[in-house]
Copies of this chain bind each other. A is one copy, B any other.
Amino acid sequence: MIHKKYENEEHAVADIPNDSTVLVGGFGGSGLPSRLITALKENGATGLTIVSNNIGAVSEGVATLISNQQVKKIICSFPVGPHANELIEYLETGRVELELVPQGTLAERIRAGGAGISAFYTPTAAHTELGEGKESRVFNNREHLLEYAITGDYALIKAHRADRWGNLVYRKAQRNFNPVMATAAQTTIAEVDEIVEVGDMSAEEIISPSVYVHRLVEIASQEERGKVQNG
């Protein structure tokens, strides 16, 4: 029988080693796998390369890993927010490296990583500072940049509901980077509100098919357990 559920988030991230590349979903606080991030902080792995769109928008986000000096490199589109102060300091002292990528190129590079496309040409960022030094080529009279796939050793994502096989559905705009990151990591770990029986989700409504999801952490059952222990 297929079992992807882990007892808790600490177990689910326990094997993430130093120097891993970790894709972290979410757009601001929406769809942010905050328990998995906290567990990764407790795991303590260092030298991490983090791929995540917003850095610093919320306190429980990737900023916490930067503060904890676990991060070597950030790949993102929007590295500013109330909680990015340390990032700015670390960037200036060279403690953290930043690769700034336009949001659509970031999403597309991750998609390419998941889809077996090694590189692609996009018009975005041509003739800009972010295109400097990149290989370029003209298609349809328009300059394009060659952009390379991004893959992760791990993806930490957030979804609303899962089944035992690992199928996922999301709540509203919680989807954002989560489904695409799910496709692009060796090991995708999803933090979900609840795990339902296989067959309880409609085949038409599944957003991340089971093939992309390797580990599940259920928030509801832990809260349930917490209540029992506290009760």
Contact = CB atoms under 8 A, between A and B. Distances in A.
Interface of A: 108, 112, 115-123, 139-140, 142, 144, 148, 169-170, 172, 202-205
A191 B208 CA distance: 27
Contacts of A121: 117-120
Contacts of A112: 120
A120 B119 contact: yes
B116 A172 contact: no
B172 A203 contact: yes
Given A108-B115, A115-B108, A172 B204 contact: yes
B118 A123 contact: yes
Contact of A205 (B115, B119, B148, B205): B205
Contact of A120 (B120, B142, B203): B120
A140 B108 CA distance: 19
Contacts of A140: 118
Given A169-B204, A203-B172, A204-B172, A108 B118 contact: no
A39 to B, nearest CB: 28
Given A119-B120, A205-B205, 13 more contacts: A108-B115, A108-B117, A116-B123, A117-B121, A117-B122, A118-B122, A118-B139, A118-B144, A119-B121, A119-B139, A119-B144, A139-B148, A169-B204
Contacts of A144: 118-119
Identify which of A108, A112, A119 gathers the most chain B CB atoms within 10 Å of its CB: A119
Nearest to A203: B172
28 contacts: A108-B115, A108-B117, A112-B120, A116-B122, A116-B123, A117-B120, A117-B121, A117-B122, A118-B121, A118-B122, A118-B123, A118-B140, A118-B142, A118-B144, A119-B120, A119-B121, A119-B139, A119-B144, A120-B120, A120-B121, A139-B148, A169-B204, A170-B204, A172-B203, A172-B204, A202-B205, A204-B205, A205-B205
